[in-house]
Structure 1
């Protein structure tokens, strides 16, 4: 039993850094640029966010203030959700 618990703790300690990579974050700012061809949104802070293929860009224009909820995957900020600030 002790061996099984020790093995479980060792495995969870090794996998802990991987869960940190998939955590969500958010960013607030005004849209500086929208590219429907590249499926990206760039905020006024210079950071670019990648939208999923089925993303609806309707109503997203320059200087619209938004909150972007994203996850960093392979160095890209992938959009999970987006809210307009009114």
Structure 2
């Protein structure tokens, strides 16, 4: 039993630094600006969110309320999904 617990603790301590590489989160905010050329959105929280190359900008304008699901990688927020709030 002690061996199993020691193994689990060693595995947990080994994997814990991986948390700093990518962090998933979501935010509900209003779009402040859209940059199609820069493939990014700026929200009213002051943060800029990078968008994937296949992203569809249809219907997204300043003032649109959205929920953004993003992953933080190397200090940049990369959009995984986006939903318009009605």
User: What is the root-mean-square deviation of aligned Cα atoms in Å?
Assistant: 1.9
Taking the TM superposition and a 5 Å limit, the aligned residue runs for 1:42-57 are: 42-57=42-57
> Which secondary structure does the structure 2 equivalent of 1:23 belong to?
strand
Question: What TM-score does the superposition give when structure 2 sets the normalisation length?
Answer: 0.85
Number of residue equivalences: 86
Deviations 1:37-68 (A, max 9, x none): 11000001211101011111111001000000
Provide runs of 4+ in structure 1 moved above 2 Å: 1-9, 19-23
Structure 1 gap ranges (5+): none
Query: What runs of 5+ residues in structure 2 fail to find an aligned partner?
Result: none
Q: Partner residue of 2:36?
A: 36
Q: Which residue of 2 aligns with 1:58?
A: 58
Q: Helix, strand or coil: the match of 2:18? A: helix
The two structures have a TM-score, normalised by structure 1, of 0.85
